[in-house]
Amino acid sequence: MNPLTELHERLAYSAVAGTALLEEDFRLKKAMENLAPLVQKNLVFEKIHDGLQQLFHAEETQRGKLLLNLLGLVDAVLYTQASSGIQGELIMLPDMPSCGTLQQIPYSELKPLVDALTTTASGRMEVLQEVRKKTPQYLSDARIINLLIADLGDTYKEMSALSFRILRAIGKGDAFTDPTDTCMHSAQLVKCLKNGFDPKGKMDMAKRVSLICEIAKEKENDWYISLLETAENRVREHAILALGYHRDNIPLLLELTKTERGKAKQMTYRALGQMDAPELDEFWQKNLKKNKKFAEYVTYVKADGVADIVALRLREAIEAAITRAELFFLDMEEIECWCNALTNKCSDAVFELYRWLFGTETDIHHLKKETFYSLELCRKIIEYKICQTLVLIYPQKLVDFLKDLSETHPNTMEKACFICDLLTLPADKVYEKWAQRANKMLHRYFEQISYQDGAYILAIEVPDYLTYTVRTLKEPLDPRWFASMVQNHCTDTLESLLPIRSADACKKIGQICYEAYLTMHTEQAAQVLPGQIMNCVQQTIWYLQIFKTCGVENIQGVILALCKRQPQISTLYLHQVFESYQEYAGTETTHKEAEQVLRFYQESNYKSISMIQKMRDMMLQYEFLKQEI
């Protein structure tokens, strides 16, 4: 095909140089001669040769058209003869595990997420958090899963921790993933986590082991055992901890307690402590009597014999500290050690300890202030451990104890009793019982509660790298709690409790929050500092976003309510609020709101000529009023 290729090249040159030079183009004539031997072999070559003859003998005015037609014909013939390839042996591509689903996502929306997971620029974490909040289905896309896995080794620890939480939620099918996505299976994610796994790697590989543990648990026990042959450092430690998911590993773990050293040895004790195996009761009792450090390993051990030892040693430590009050702080390390071991313990000795410790409120006020506060810290730690136990194993003995305590000592262990009621009582009963007491401490009462996948859950962190465990409340929260959160400025608490996936419930709660905002307590302007005014402005802008998220249709009066609470607000802050308001409510509604605000300043005791003039200027600047003021 060289003659044809050469001819195509010369015709292209002629098209550029012009047909006036055809008679002098000896190279084109040479290409025509080289094509002549092919004319007898195919009619197409004959047609090309005839076209060349016509081109050379045509009039000047006809040559341009003939040249282009001939060039198009030669071009088409060459296309039919083209081929591509590469020399070498054909081999099969490796079987790569697939994970997630390929979704129809616009490039403009996916690129910021890809950049956040593949670059080191600032603001990456905010991008990932925004995607998790607004378009969580993107995170289970097959193109993103491997990027999240690679990001486990991110040098920015907060970023790698967020990627870890997202992968864990995907593997477990938690709330932020798309519930209609049936193609995403935990087994697929486990395969992706194993792909390219390096048992001698660093923390990112250890995190992979932790993720596989949380997703597959004892199903991957053979893989955990196989890691012991080659794994090093943090990977080995996490592999040892993973052995705690299968009771058959008890002999192996007991042997590892004799051969491992340092952190790895500690992990063997943690793994044994996860099992709550009766055959280990004697092992734990023996070691607890010898060394208090073993208390940190018995979190999941429920045996009464172990619980009795923990309760006895904790009481002895507290009594000794109270006796030498001036040295109480020196005893806190040992006290906290035994407090942490109380999780999942429900023996009679433990309840007797609770009655003694929480029933002596009137007997400890003679102690020094430092000692008293240290004892209060001890009580808070124990209360949290009680909450952990409720979530982890929900023992009926503990529920009965807390209900009785709530009746006989209503001001004792309030948070634990409140959580117990959320798990056992109807929502309206809980609100009526606790609303007055909890209002001033809403953040503390609700800090472990959130909305996930259509239900309100109680999430408690547990030790030993097992992240958190959740338990669903008996009923969704009473809507009146949301009005209390607005009145008490608990914005972070409110946001975590919004039922985003339930449009009707979210809209109802949004309306409650809107009405509560309008009736929020009015503060005296003389008592408000500039910083407090700025906080009120930021809260108002935040509430506008909440109203938008919840789908509240009418938000008339929001800025007017702000001005009534903070009449000394500057026009600079009002600019910010009005901009956010207009973005949500539109120009017409904002126009009406601005008129009400201006009328307030004209008629109120806080009116000033300068303030009214600034309001007028601002309203004209943003075209809030269509007619001239």
Mention every residue, 6+ apart, whose C-beta is less than 8 A from residue 622: 575, 578, 579, 582
Q: What is the pLDDT of residue 362?
A: 43
Q: For the chain, what is the radius of gyration of the CA atoms?
A: 37
Half-sphere exposure of 302 (CA within 13 A, CB side): 13
pTM of whole model > 0.85? no
Mention every residue, 6+ apart, whose C-beta is less than 8 A from residue 175: 169, 451, 452, 453, 501
Distance CA 610, CA 568 (A): 12
Q: What is the pLDDT of residue 330?
A: 59
Which of 14-28, 91-105, 144-158, 562-576 has the highest average model confidence (pLDDT)?
144-158
Written as six digits, the tokens of 547 are 């109203």
Confidence of residue 208 (pLDDT cuts 50, 70, 90): very high
Confidence of residue 207 (pLDDT cuts 50, 70, 90): very high
Q: How many helices (H) and strands (E) does the chain have?
A: 31, 3
What's the full length of the chain, in residues? 629
Q: What is the pLDDT of residue 464?
A: 46
Q: What is the pLDDT of residue 528?
A: 47
Confidence of residue 530 (pLDDT cuts 50, 70, 90): low
Q: Give me the percent of the chain exceeding a pLDDT of 70.
A: 85
Q: What is the pLDDT of residue 139?
A: 87
For 193-198, the CB contacts below 8 A with 24+ separation are 193/149, 193/167, 194/97, 194/223, 195/96, 195/97, 198/235
**514 pLDDT higher than 80:** yes
Quick: pLDDT tens for 161-200: 889 988 888 887 754 444 434 334 678 888 889 988 999 9
Distance CA 306, CA 322 (A): 25
Quick: pLDDT tens for 440-490: 677 788 888 888 767 788 877 665 444 457 788 898 888 888 888 888 878
Is the CB of residue 618 less than 8 Å from the CB of residue 577?
no
Distance CA 138, CA 257 (A): 44
Is the CB of residue 3 less than 8 Å from the CB of residue 31?
yes
**1 pLDDT higher than 60:** no
Written as six digits, the tokens of 563 are 């001005």
Confidence of residue 592 (pLDDT cuts 50, 70, 90): confident
**pLDDT, average across residues 62-75:** 80
Q: What is the pLDDT of residue 179?
A: 40
- Please give the backbone phi and psi of residue 469, each rounded to the nearest 5 degrees, phi first: -120, 145
Query: 193-197, 390-394, 418-422, 622-626: which range is least confident on average?
Result: 622-626
The chain-wide mean pLDDT, for the chain, equals: 79
261 vs 567, more confident: 261
Nearest CA to 338 among 361, 359, 307, 360? 307
Mention every residue, 6+ apart, whose C-beta is less than 8 A from residue 255: none
Burial status of residue 139 (CB atoms within 10 A of its CB: 0-12, 13-18, 19 or more): buried
Confidence of residue 507 (pLDDT cuts 50, 70, 90): confident
Quick: pLDDT tens for 81-114: 767 777 788 777 565 556 667 778 888 888 889 9
Quick: pLDDT tens for 292-301: 888 888 887 8
Confidence of residue 285 (pLDDT cuts 50, 70, 90): confident
Confidence of residue 396 (pLDDT cuts 50, 70, 90): very high
Confidence of residue 426 (pLDDT cuts 50, 70, 90): very high
Confidence of residue 570 (pLDDT cuts 50, 70, 90): confident
The torsion defined by the Cα of 160, 194, 253 and 265, in degrees rounded to 10, comes to -40
Residue located via tokens 């004792």? 412
Quick: pLDDT tens for 337-387: 888 888 889 999 999 998 888 875 445 555 555 566 667 778 888 888 888
23 vs 155, more confident: 155
Written as six digits, the tokens of 215 are 């997703």
**pLDDT, average across residues 3-19:** 77
DSSP code for 455: E
Confidence of residue 400 (pLDDT cuts 50, 70, 90): very high
